[in-house]
Amino acid sequence: MPRGTDGSRAADGGAEPPPYEIPEERLPPGFVDTLANVPATPAVPHPSATVVLMREGGSGPEVLLLRRNRATGFVPGAYVFPGGRVDAADGQDALVRCWDGLTREGAAARLGIAPDADPPAIAYYGAALREAIEETGLLAGVVAAKGPPGGEVVG
């Protein structure tokens, strides 16, 4: 029976995923020293999404990056794009109706995710937009910035 990295059987009965190593030589100087108590086993991945916010600037494209607080436990001081974990509410119909032209079927086709996947492909878009709002205050990808249809509270 296949075993997980902690010695337990794989939940799906499938093969153990290949090990993942971060090549330290590709990290910024001193970055490795900022990581305390690096686990021997990598974290279990969770569905998550990020968004790259861009605009045309005076001398070319501008890209929004955030700098993580140096006191955070996870990659302190790193420059990142807004993003995070996909929540159950990220694919709700009330949210999808607010977006500018994206459908459940279109999201599944764009991302190459099965239409019946859990979480659904549309939730990845929802997570990316929600995280952008939470982390930057910028609202993108919606038809109107006045909230969900009918004034419903979502999430």
Per residue of the chain (155 residues), give pLDDT as tens: 233 344 444 445 556 666 767 777 777 777 777 676 777 787 789 999 999 999 999 999 999 999 988 888 777 888 999 999 999 899 999 888 888 788 999 999 999 999 899 999 999 999 999 999 999 988 887 765 555 445 454 44
Q: Is residue 70 part of a domain?
A: yes
Q: Is residue 88 part of a domain?
A: yes
* The pLDDT of residue 143: 65
115 touches 103 (CB < 8 A) = no
Threshold 0.75, pTM exceeds:
no
* The pLDDT of residue 146: 55
Q: Which domain holds residue 143?
A: 24-151
Q: Is residue 4 part of a domain?
A: no
Number of folded domains in the chain?
Answer: 1
Determine whether 107 is exposed, middle or buried from the number of CB atoms within 10 Å of its CB (0-12, 13-18, 19+). Answer: buried
* The pLDDT of residue 75: 78
Q: Is residue 138 part of a domain?
A: yes
